[in-house]
């Protein structure tokens, strides 16, 4: 902020939003926390991911700090964002709206998402050049005010804890979650979540439903050979329960797609039914 005039709150909010709070594959493996694509001027390392189109080129950095530095340079050197630098560096709302208008991202509510992160986490205090010690003192001073909290927490969009089932990463859905919300939080595309979970577009997970955030495995571990179906269980339910892909599960049990198991039927999870 001191070097460029870009509000610190905007930089941090964009970093949270674009990287899924540091959980996206692009940020973890390539230190790219702002989703900046290569462009013709980029001479550094490159990586390729599916985004608006398949196999798009993204910048790769040696460190997270390099990503933040390049983000500032990217905004300062691009004529598209020139008008932003005429704004007050403490006016985060105008900066958020300006970034959306300039086309930084395609999301129609990009500015609202940034503002929500800033206000939920009190990041606007950083624009006043407050250090963590004054912030802590201000929090203590306002502790008796039940209508206002100055707690500084970086938890945009109520992040979900990542767990593993059958060596596959997954999260547990909360009430009100959608695949679109989870995808944004975790740095994924919503179509990826539909694919990972063998679901049709429009499916909305219920509370406590397992949502896989990477491809499920084709089979279970060696100690999980079969499953005896219970009343009401579907092949999709069994697929989600064990973290295995639905299509191979049908083939392994000599069943046509769409058929469901009978109560008590043995479902083969690892080896094909003879």
> What's the pLDDT tens digit per position in 6-43?
999 999 999 999 888 888 888 898 999 998 888 877 88
Q: Does residue 198 contact residue 249 with C-beta atoms inside 8 Å? A: no
pLDDT over 80 (residue 154): no
Query: Do 208 and 108 share a structural domain?
Result: no
- Which of 118, 68, 90, 107 has its CA nearest to residue 5? 90
pLDDT in tens, 203-243: 888 888 899 999 999 988 888 889 999 888 899 999 999 99
- Which of 13, 18, 55, 12 has its CA nearest to residue 36? 18
Residue 241 to residue 127: CA distance in whole angstroms:
47
Q: Does residue 31 contact residue 54 with C-beta atoms inside 8 Å? A: no
Pairing assessment for the beta strands 226-228 and 56-59 based on DSSP bridges? unpaired
Residue 134 to residue 140: CA distance in whole angstroms:
10
Sequence-separated (6 or more) residues with CB below 8 Å from residue 24 = 18, 186, 187, 188
Q: What is the token pair recorded at 173?
A: 């859905």
Place of tokens 């959980």: 23
pLDDT over 50 (residue 109): yes
pLDDT confidence of 129, banded at 50, 70, 90? low
Query: Do 240 and 204 share a structural domain?
Result: no
Query: Do 127 and 24 share a structural domain?
Result: yes
pLDDT at 133: 39
Residue 156 to residue 159: CA distance in whole angstroms:
7
Share of the chain above pLDDT 90, in %: 38
Local structure of 118: helix, strand or coil: helix
Range of the domain at 264: 226-268
pLDDT over 50 (residue 270): yes
pLDDT at 146: 34
Pairing assessment for the beta strands 266-268 and 168-172 based on DSSP bridges? unpaired
pLDDT over 80 (residue 159): no
Higher pLDDT, 144 or 249: 249
Query: Do 170 and 259 share a structural domain?
Result: no
Sequence-separated (6 or more) residues with CB below 8 Å from residue 204 = 177, 178, 179
Angle at 87 between CA 81 and CA 90, to 5 degrees: 120
* Mean pLDDT value across residues 167-190: 85
Q: Does residue 114 contact residue 104 with C-beta atoms inside 8 Å? A: no
How many domains are there within the chain?
3
pLDDT confidence of 150, banded at 50, 70, 90? very low
User: How would you classify residue 244: left for phi > 0, otherwise alpha for psi between -120 and 50, otherwise beta?
Assistant: beta
What pTM value is reported for the model? 0.49
Query: Do 24 and 127 share a structural domain?
Result: yes
For residue 46, the cross-strand partners are 59
Query: Do 35 and 113 share a structural domain?
Result: yes
Q: Does residue 28 contact residue 22 with C-beta atoms inside 8 Å? A: yes
Which domain CATH number covers 248?
A: 3.10.350.10
Residue 192 to residue 31: CA distance in whole angstroms:
21
Q: What is the token pair recorded at 119?
A: 């206000």
Q: Does residue 123 contact residue 150 with C-beta atoms inside 8 Å? A: no
Residue 56 to residue 53: CA distance in whole angstroms:
6
Residue 217 lies in a domain: no
Query: Do 98 and 50 share a structural domain?
Result: yes
Which of 89, 106, 141 is the last residue in one of the domains?
141
């Amino acid at each position: 902020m001191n070097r460029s005039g870009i509000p610190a709150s905007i930089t941090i909010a964009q970093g949270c939003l674009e990287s899924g709070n540091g959980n996206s594959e692009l940020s973890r493996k390539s230190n790219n926390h702002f989703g900046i694509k290569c462009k013709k001027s980029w001479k550094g390392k490159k990586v390729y991911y599916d985004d608006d189109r398949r196999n798009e080129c993204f910048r790769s950095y040696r460190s997270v700090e390099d990503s933040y530095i390049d983000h500032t340079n990217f905004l300062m050197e691009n004529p598209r964002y020139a008008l932003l630098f005429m704004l007050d560096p403490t006016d985060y709302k105008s900066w958020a709206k300006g970034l959306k208008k300039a086309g930084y991202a395609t999301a129609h509510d990009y500015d609202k998402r940034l503002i929500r992160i800033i206000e939920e986490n009190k990041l606007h205090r950083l624009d006043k050049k407050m250090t963590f010690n004054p912030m802590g003192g201000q929090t203590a001073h306002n502790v008796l005010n039940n209508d206002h909290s100055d707690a500084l927490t970086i938890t945009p969009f109520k992040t979900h804890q990542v767990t593993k089932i059958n060596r596959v990463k997954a999260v547990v859905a909360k009430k009100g979650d959608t695949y679109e919300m989870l995808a944004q939080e975790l740095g994924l595309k919503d179509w990826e979540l539909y694919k990972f979970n063998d679901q049709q577009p429009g499916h909305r997970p219920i509370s406590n439903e397992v949502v896989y955030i990477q491809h499920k495995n084709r089979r279970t571990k060696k100690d999980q050979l079969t499953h005896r179906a219970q009343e009401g269980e579907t092949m999709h339910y069994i697929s989600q329960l064990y973290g295995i892909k639905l299509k191979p599960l049908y083939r392994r049990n000599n069943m046509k797609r769409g058929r469901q198991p009978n109560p008590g039927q043995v479902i083969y999870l690892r080896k094909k039914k003879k």
